[in-house]
Amino acid sequence: MLLAEQALNGLQYGMMLFLMAAGLTLVFGVMGLINLAHGSLYMTGAFACAVVAAATGSFWLGLAASLAAAAAAGALVEIAVIRRLYARDHLDQVLATFALILVFSEGTRWLFGSFPLYLKLPPSLSGAVLLPGGLHYPLFRLVIIGFGAAVALGLWWLITRTRLGIRIRAGEADREMIGALGVDIARLYTIVFALGAALAGLAGALVGTIQSVQVGMGEPVLILAFVVVVIGGIGSIKGAFIGALLVGMTDTLGKALLPDLFGQVLDASSANTVGASLASVLIYVLMAVVLILRPQGLFGARS
Amino acid sequence: MRAMLTRDTAINLAILALLVATAIAAHLLGEGFAVTLATKAAIFGLAGVGLNLALGYGGLISFGHAAFFGIGGYVTGILASHAAAGTPVATLPFTVMGSNEMLGIWPMAMLAAGLAALAIGALSLRTSGVYFIMVTLAFAQMLYYFAISWPRYGGEDGLSFYVRNSFPGLNTFAPIQYFAICAVLLAVALGFTAVVTQSRFGLALQAARQNDQRTVAVGIRPYAIRLMAFVLSGMIVGLAGSLYADLNRFVSPAMLSWHMSGEIMVFVILGGVGRLCGPVAGAAIFILLEHVLGGISDYWQALLGLLLLAIVLFAPGGLIGIVTGRGRHA
């Protein structure tokens, strides 16, 4: 029973990581850009949702606002800063997007202060549902799993079945050629960047309801999203999906089970310490193993 | 080319002279705080010099050097706290006692950082490009979470040790004397970097940065060379971490955080990538900005961010690049 609940928690965590990693991997794959400020867009989405939901009383309006705000912030950042960095090396991209994090974080602190905001769930989404097998599970976590699955399906449809998807894939393969064929690359890149930002903003708004909304909330998630992208392989949406579920499950189950597992051989207090320390680094061990076996990630084509 | 080199050398010497002169002047004026700021600049400069070996000369964009900075710090804090308590650090496989002698602590800090760099580098260097950046970042973050979840040495709260470690013949509590120690080590590291980058090893390292395939074609294995550079780089940064721990008499997971990695990288880039004294200038300017902007606004990091952004977008050679009128990498 506990195991089933933890497995669902892991699935929910994985779906949330997928929303983050999908945007990152799209931007890597299409533009070859490393964006450290992706976590700032996640934070933007969470703050937009919290503020609009508090002002209007509607969580759904807040959620829409998170998408709009993150996409707008993404587009703005792309036009003002990011597009000057495509031709630069990764070092410049890292430094510039690191600078953007400082600007976003301190700007948000200036606007909203250092205290966390809290998002209230609408009554229709709060409470628990009884799952087959007799498990009571929070409805909202199931909703997040649903959102993640829907976004995964939607992205798959977008990339494989639409004109925009064809252009995105063509942009990954050869950016000069699609430019020569008459595609407005600058606009395409802005759209892809804004799309990735919107996904991050959605993740931020959803997670903001479980935890709290505060400055700096995007940074731990960003690093986990990097781990996901490394495991899945850069540019692969499928890799991001499978990597995110792997990381979500490993982290959640590790934290739930490892202390007990060590309890079999060690005394209770040291089992807790060792178990908790090991659980906190488990996903990095997973990443190391994947790197040893496949340096380009599970589904990565290029390194 | 010849004239450019001497101009770079002159600027290098001027930067060091300025740092030392600032510290001495502050000491004579009785401004202990300013001496401490100069010490901080020297220590951060040392960390930058260490990273520059991998980043500037080797082209290895490591976003995880806080790992080595933090390990150096934790080795120092752990040895010092055990020395204060009179308990051994470890009894298996052999007994390791605590220590409060810098001369004993530095090699231990560098050894631990070097071993970590060997492990992290061996794995990370299997990848390149964006992967390398993310993998080094992730491994450093792993140590960060490990430090937070390991309560024995303070966990999230960090570890204080109340007495600064000692150095034979010097009073390390006197700010100017501790500055002297840090400045001398910085000078040694700069001399070491100058020698190493002109050695066969250093030239091979720079060749591998410029053209991987040609390096392989002339019979050099880039992996081994890069790993060596990564380890040396980690050891220097570990030494800087040890000095920083002694400066504050405190270590915390913050030394391992990715903000620290970002800052060390900023020192290098602010001053100029792949320039001998670039990181020293960068660290000194960073400390100065932190101090000045911090006095203007509580939100000084936003101003710092905008400034950094301007430098990346409009002055890619760093500040020394502006002075010498030359882009990055000679």
DSSP string, A254-276: HHHHHHHHHHTTS-HHHHHHHHH
Instruction: Write down the residue that tokens 């900005």 correspond to.
Output: B289
Is residue B249 a contact partner of residue B62, using CB atoms and an 8 Å limit? no
Distance CA A74, CA A301 (A): 27
The ipTM value here is: 0.83
Amino acid letter, residue B106: W
CB atoms within 10 A of CB B34: 17
Best of A36, A86, A97, A103 to mutate (most B CBs within 10 Å, chain B) = A103
Distance CA B198, CA B194 (A): 6
Is residue A95 a contact partner of residue B269, using CB atoms and an 8 Å limit? yes
User: Across the interface, which of B139, B152, B262 has its CB nearest the CB of A284?
Assistant: B139
Farthest-apart Cα atoms in chain B, separation: 59
Alpha helices, DSSP H only, in A59-138?
Answer: 59-80, 90-112
If you write DSSP's letter for every residue of A157-191 in order, what string do you get?
HHHHHSHHHHHHHHHHH-HHHHHHTT--HHHHHHH
Instruction: Write down the residue that tokens 């605590």 correspond to.
Output: B98
- Pairing type for strands B250-251 and B159-160 reads antiparallel
Distance from CA of B122 to the nearest CA of A (A): 10
User: Across the interface, which of A32, A107, A281 has its CB nearest the CB of B145?
Assistant: A281
Instruction: Give yes or no for B296 touching A (CB within 8 A).
Output: no
The residue of chain A with its CA nearest to that of B302 is A103
pLDDT of residue B319: 67
Could you tell me the CA-to-CA distances from B58 to A16, A93, B12 in Å, in that order? Answer: 37, 18, 20
Any idea of the CA torsion for B244, B248, B252, B257, to the nearest 10 degrees? -40
Distance CA B52, CA B10 (A): 19
Which of A201, A216, A171 has the alpha carbon at shortest distance from A73?
Answer: A201
With a cut of 50, which residues of chain A have pLDDT below it? Answer: 303
Backbone phi, psi, residue B167, to 5°: -130, 130
Distance CA A82, CA A22 (A): 18
If you write DSSP's letter for every residue of A279-296 in order, what string do you get?
HHHHHHHHHHHHHHH-TT
pLDDT of residue B317: 66
Instruction: Write down the residue that tokens 């203007």 correspond to.
Output: B296
Question: Which two structure tokens, joined as six digits, stand for B280?
Answer: 């020293």
Question: Which two structure tokens, joined as six digits, stand for A177?
Answer: 């050629």
Predicted TM-score of the model (pTM): 0.88
Q: Please tell me whether residue A247 adopts helix, strand or coil conformation.
A: helix
Size of interface A-B (CB pairs under 8 A): 125
Does the bond joining B93 to the residue before it have cis omega, within 30 degrees of 0?
yes
What are the chain B neighbours of A99 within 8 Å (beta carbons)?
Answer: 304-309, 312
> How many residues are listed for chain B in this entry?
330
Q: Please tell me whether residue B41 adopts helix, strand or coil conformation.
A: helix
Half-sphere exposure of B291 (CA within 13 A, CB side): 13
Q: What is the pLDDT along chain B (330 residues), one digit of tens a residue?
A: 344 556 777 887 888 899 999 999 999 998 888 999 999 999 999 999 999 999 989 999 999 999 999 999 999 999 999 888 888 888 777 778 888 889 999 999 999 999 999 999 999 998 888 889 988 998 999 899 889 988 888 888 899 988 888 898 888 888 999 999 999 999 999 999 999 999 999 999 999 999 888 989 888 899 999 999 999 999 999 999 999 999 999 999 999 999 899 999 989 888 878 788 889 988 998 998 888 888 888 888 888 899 888 888 887 666 666 666 554 443
Distance from CA of B154 to the nearest CA of A (A): 13
pLDDT of residue A275: 80
Is residue B165 a contact partner of residue B102, using CB atoms and an 8 Å limit? yes
Buried b (16+ CB within 10 A) or exposed e, B73-98: bbbbbbbbbbbeeeeebeeeeeeeeb
Chain segment B178-215, per-residue pLDDT in tens: 999 999 999 999 999 999 999 999 999 999 999 888 98
Cβ-defined contact of A284 to B312 (cutoff 8 Å) = no
Could you tell me the CA-to-CA distances from B92 to A26, A184, A260, B95, B311 in Å, in that order? Answer: 49, 65, 26, 6, 51
Distance CA A158, CA A100 (A): 29
What are the chain A neighbours of B258 within 8 Å (beta carbons)?
Answer: 219, 223
Inter-residue long-range contacts of A159-168, CB under 8 Å, 24+ positions, other chains counted: A159/A237, A164/A191, A168/A26, A168/A30, A168/A192
Is residue B306 a contact partner of residue B312, using CB atoms and an 8 Å limit? no
Which of A34, A87, A8 has the alpha carbon at shortest distance from B132?
Answer: A34
Distance from CA of A39 to the nearest CA of B (A): 13
What residues contact residue B49 under an 8 Å CB cut-off, 6+ apart?
B186, B189, B190, B193, B236, B279, B280
Cβ-defined contact of B130 to A276 (cutoff 8 Å) = no
Query: Which residues are registered as beta bridge partners of B285?
Result: none
Instruction: Give yes or no for B240 touching A (CB within 8 A).
Output: no
Instruction: Write down the residue that tokens 């986990």 correspond to.
Output: A224
CB atoms within 10 A of CB A47: 26
Distance CA A53, CA A68 (A): 14
Instruction: Write down the residue that tokens 């970002």 correspond to.
Output: B262
pLDDT of residue B2: 45
Question: Which two structure tokens, joined as six digits, stand for A58?
Answer: 């509607």
* Percent of all residues in chain B with a pLDDT value above 90, rounded to a whole number: 51
If you write DSSP's letter for every residue of B13-68 in order, what string do you get?
HHHHHHHHHHHHHHHHTT-HHHHHHHHHHHHHHHHHHHHHIIIIIT----S-THHH
Is residue B114 a contact partner of residue B50, using CB atoms and an 8 Å limit? no
What residues contact residue A270 under an 8 Å CB cut-off, 6+ apart?
A262
pLDDT of residue B323: 65
Which of A165, A200, A205 has the alpha carbon at shortest distance from A36?
Answer: A200
Is residue B267 a contact partner of residue B186, using CB atoms and an 8 Å limit? no
Asked whether the CA dihedral B126, B130, B135, B140 is positive or negative, the reply is: positive
What are the chain A neighbours of B289 within 8 Å (beta carbons)?
Answer: none
User: Across the interface, which of B61, B149, B300 has its CB nearest the CB of A277?
Assistant: B149
Chain segment A239-274, per-residue pLDDT in tens: 999 999 999 999 999 888 888 888 787 777 777 777
pLDDT of residue B326: 53
Question: Which two structure tokens, joined as six digits, stand for B78?
Answer: 């752990």
Instruction: Write down the residue that tokens 């966390």 correspond to.
Output: A116
The residue of chain A with its CA nearest to that of B261 is A98
Distance CA A104, CA A95 (A): 14
